[in-house]
Amino acid sequence: MIHKYKLCGYNVVLDVNSGGVHIVDDLTYDLLTDVKPPFSEKCPEEVVEKLSKAYKTDDIISCYEEVLEAYKEGVLFSEDDYEQYANVAVASPIKAMCLNIAHDCNLRCEYCFASTGDFGEGRKLMTYETGKKAIDFLLTHSANRENLELDFFGGEPLMNFDVVKQIVEYARSREEEYGKKFRFTITTNGMLLDDDKIDFINKEMSNVVLSIDGRKEVNDRMRKRVDGNGCYDRIIPKYRKLVDKRGDKEYYVRGTYTKYNLDFSEDVFSLVDAGFDQISVEPVVTDPCDPYALTEKDLPVIFKEYEKLMKRILDYEKTGKRFNFFHFMLDLDQGPCAIKRLRGCGCGNDYVAITPDGDIYPCHQFVGEEAYKMGNIDEGTFNYEMKSDFAKMHIYTKPDCCDCWAKFYCSGGCNANNYQYAGDTRKAHVMSCEIEKKRLECAIVLKAIRMGESADPSENE
């Protein structure tokens, strides 16, 4: 399978199964519409005849020879032989956990998937005892996995920060005995950040996600305090301080865009102007009936905006400065292995979420979905059958993914979004897919341009 597209004057051809990426001229682009395996040694006459209306015969023939060479080399129309790996997909050790440390929040963000913090289950904070049991659960279910990940999530985790500190201390105290290394991360709205919390986070958390939507008016329209006022002015100086003191450690300022700010490249650059260089701004995923929901009608505008963002990033880089936009990051050489790409996020299999009541869910997005409750930490229950079912959740068991060119980049998307908005964990959520594909197309061209590749392949020797 190949995927070809035109963007920014570039003709790009992806060989889906090998991961090969090619820049081609117009002739090759057109030729690839008409030829596919099995290939004959010579270009079929009808193809030469068709293309000779626009191209010279000698060029068509030499172009065909190059296509044939790439095919023989296994970087064009390569075979899909991954299903053999997918078919042996078995339950993995649990290595990552989302700890919903507080089902409470001090903001009332309009688009919150957690129903303003309590996931529809009442406002609660996790106790240290439950947190400890969650750590023990991870230690005893992680088999030979050395790197264990624990994300403090909510609600708003800073509302229960003493317990966060206690859990970190407890987990660290067990690392040596179990031969494990914990990587802590935290996602916060920043309202309660102070010097002590900043120092603790910068010391212990390998990544911190700081929520903010971009421009003040955009942020404050959705991210409101309990009294209805926006939070921008309060959080910006706190985020600046945290980032300034953080050194080289990873962080992201992370925003959500909605129908209200389809010009979200302005929000990305507003965050750049505010002094941040690790940025993620993502589409809201919600009920299409919500007034701020993104719908298929918005897609052409969203696509144009990603192209605009890409061009603005390139212009910005010409000034010698650089920032990182999460969804344009793509490592074509050293990315994850094919096995990881078959299964994606691993929710319900190597990743689970724990609520303040100790309930276990496949991930934070499933919390509150009674049908997907996997067990309870306090009661010592865990549904291994459900875990096995999630282990089999990969691109070859998702009919919409099998024939999609982006399957090895997105790995089947978000199972929870699929369930909530497409009705089935294995059914693709079309909006998410379309946006993901556009981001990937932009990311690949951005990569080519950064590598100094010309749009004309003959100039790239």
Partner 1 sequence: MKHIKTINKANLKATAAKGGCGKCQASCQSACKTSCTVANQKCER
Footprint of partner 1 on residues 31-60 (CB under 8 A)?
59
What is the enclosing helix (H) or strand (E) of 133? helix 128-141
Question: Mask of contacts with partner 1, 380-409, x by CB under 8 A?
Answer: ----------------------------xx
* Position 237, amino acid: P
Q: Considering the rule CB under 8 A, would residue 23 count as an interface residue with partner 1?
A: yes
The whole-angstrom separation of Cα 31 and Cα 13 is 12
* Pairing relationship of beta strands 181-188 and 375-376 according to DSSP bridges: unpaired
* From 290, 340, 380, 424, residue interacting with partner 1 (rule: CB under 8 A): 340
Q: What are phi and psi of 67, to 5 degrees?
A: -60, -45
Contact 101, 164 (CB under 8 A): yes
The CA distance from 4 to 422, in Å, is 27
Nearer CB in complex with partner 1: 34/127: 34
Binding to partner 1 by residue 355, rule CB under 8 A? no
DSSP alpha helix (H) spans, 262-383: 265-273, 299-318, 338-343
Instruction: Give, in degrees to the nearest 5, the angle at Cα 434 between 432 and 437.
Output: 105
Mark the segment that binds partner 1 (CB under 8 A) among 19-27, 44-52, 126-134, 260-268: 19-27
Contact between 146 and 264 under an 8 Å Cβ cutoff? The reply is no
**Shortest distance in whole angstroms from residue 318 CB to partner 1:** 21
Q: HEC profile for 147-201?
A: EEEEEEEECCHHHHHHHHHHHHHHHHHHHHHHCCEEEEEEEECCCCCCHHHHHHH
As a whole number of Å, the CA-based R_g of the chain is 24
User: Angle 265-273/299-318 helices, nearest 10 degrees?
Assistant: 30
State which residue, 17 or 116, has the beta carbon closest to partner 1. 17
Residue entry with tokens 């009705």: 423
Query: Which of 1, 4, 5, 18 touches partner 1 (CB under 8 A)?
Result: 18
In order of 67, 109, 122, 252, 292, the CA distances from 75 in angstroms are 10, 47, 54, 35, 43
For residue 304, give the 3-state DSSP assignment: helix
Of positions 8, 299, 330, 391, contacts partner 1 by CB under 8 A: 330
| Residue 449 sits in the site that holds partner 1 (CB under 8 A) | no
Stretch of 101-109, 143-151, 169-177, 218-226 contacting partner 1, by CB under 8 A: 143-151
**187-226 binders of partner 1 (CB under 8 A):** 187, 207, 209
- Residue whose CB is less far from partner 1, 337 or 371: 337
| 25 makes contact with partner 1 (CB under 8 A) | yes
The binder of partner 1 chosen from 188, 189, 411, 420 (CB under 8 A): 411
Residue 458 in contact with partner 1, rule: CB under 8 A: yes
Shorter beta-carbon distance to partner 1: residue 46 or 331: 331
Q: Which residues pair with 253 in a beta bridge?
A: 210, 279
Q: Site residues for partner 1, window 105-134 (CB under 8 A)? A: 113
- By CB under 8 A, tell whether 436 contacts partner 1: yes
By CB under 8 A, residue 68 contacts partner 1: no
What's the distance, CA 399 to chain centroid? Answer: 21
Pick out residues in 266-285 that bind partner 1 (CB under 8 A): 278, 280, 282-283, 285
Binding mask 81-100 for partner 1 (x = CB under 8 A): xx--x------xx-xx-x--
Q: How far is the CB of 439 from partner 1 (least distance, A)?
A: 7
Residue 333 touching partner 1 (CB under 8 A): yes
Task: Give SS3 for 324.
Answer: strand
- Residue choice 252, 372, 390, 396 for contact with partner 1 (CB under 8 A): 252
> Does 20 help bind partner 1 (rule: CB under 8 A)?
yes
CA distance 241 to 246: 9
Token digits of residue 387: 């875990």
Binding span for partner 1 by CB under 8 A among 130-138, 314-322, 363-371, 386-394: 363-371
Task: Note whether 366 binds partner 1 by CB under 8 A.
Answer: no
Q: Is 425 in the site for partner 1 (CB under 8 A)?
A: no
